[in-house]
Amino acid sequence: MARGRSSARAAALRRAQEAKAERDAQRMLRETQIEAALADYYQATAETERIRSAARRKADATVAEAERAAATPAATAREAVRKLRDLLGGNAEVAGLCGITVSAVRDMLADGHPAEGRPAAGEAPHRDETG
């Protein structure tokens, strides 16, 4: 009977190994799927950053070019404000005529670069200030 037990044991081991092999195959498939999803994630995030970095470089170059292009008209505007100040005698009157704040007039007279000489959103020119 020992031989019967031995062959039963061998059959049981084969069935156990087959069941385990299926489980191992499913686990390997899952691990392969996890690895592929992670690779997709890392590749996509790297591409996203590359695209955003390229866009930032282009935007920075565009802004730099715009600043260079705006330098001459901005200097002309500052000179016009200087002339108006000399002709009118007060920053408040210049601000009122130009539709800018007195603070913007002061900045322009000091060779500053106010935000295009316009009042801030919702802010009216300060006509009652003197300078």
Q: Say whether pTM exceeds 0.75.
A: no
Q: In degrees to the nearest 10, what's the CA dihedral of 29, 30, 33, 37?
A: -170
Read off φ and ψ for residue 102, nearest 5 degrees. Answer: -60, -35
Residue ranges of domains in the chain? 2-109
Amino acid letter, residue 1: M
- DSSP tag of 79: H
Share of the chain above pLDDT 90, in %: 79
The mean pLDDT value of the chain amounts to 87
